[in-house]
């Protein structure tokens, strides 16, 4: 499994289903932990700053080099 250089590359790869599933799981874990809140720009309180984000797509490997 190759590591894509961008979200777009991940979504057109043969492994797109696996990348989508991994992103869904990660998003849910972040939301469940309450460390991140999705807001619309129009709902941002005065004096607050918007923090952007992006996906960093890495393949987790076992010590023998196989995909975890």
Question: Do the beta carbons of residue 57 and residue 4 sit within 8 Å?
Answer: yes
Question: Do the beta carbons of residue 30 and residue 36 sit within 8 Å?
Answer: yes
pLDDT digits over 47-67, tens only? 888 888 889 999 988 999 888
Q: Is residue 25 part of a domain?
A: no
Q: Is residue 47 part of a domain?
A: no
Q: Is residue 28 part of a domain?
A: no
Distance CA 25, CA 60 (A): 14
Q: Is residue 68 part of a domain?
A: yes
pLDDT digits over 9-61, tens only? 999 999 999 999 999 999 999 999 998 888 888 888 888 888 888 899 999 88
CA angle 15, 57, 29 (to 5 degrees): 100
For 67, the domain range is: 1-20+53-68
> What's the whole-model pTM score?
0.74
Domain count, the chain: 1
Q: Is residue 29 part of a domain?
A: no
């Amino acid at each position: 499994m190759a590591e894509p250089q961008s979200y777009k590359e991940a979504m057109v790869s043969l492994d797109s289903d696996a990348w989508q599933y991994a992103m869904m799981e990660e998003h849910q874990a972040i939301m469940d932990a309450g460390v991140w809140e999705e807001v619309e720009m129009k709902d941002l309180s005065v004096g607050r700053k918007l923090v952007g984000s992006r996906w960093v797509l890495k393949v987790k490997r076992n010590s023998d080099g196989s995909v975890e």
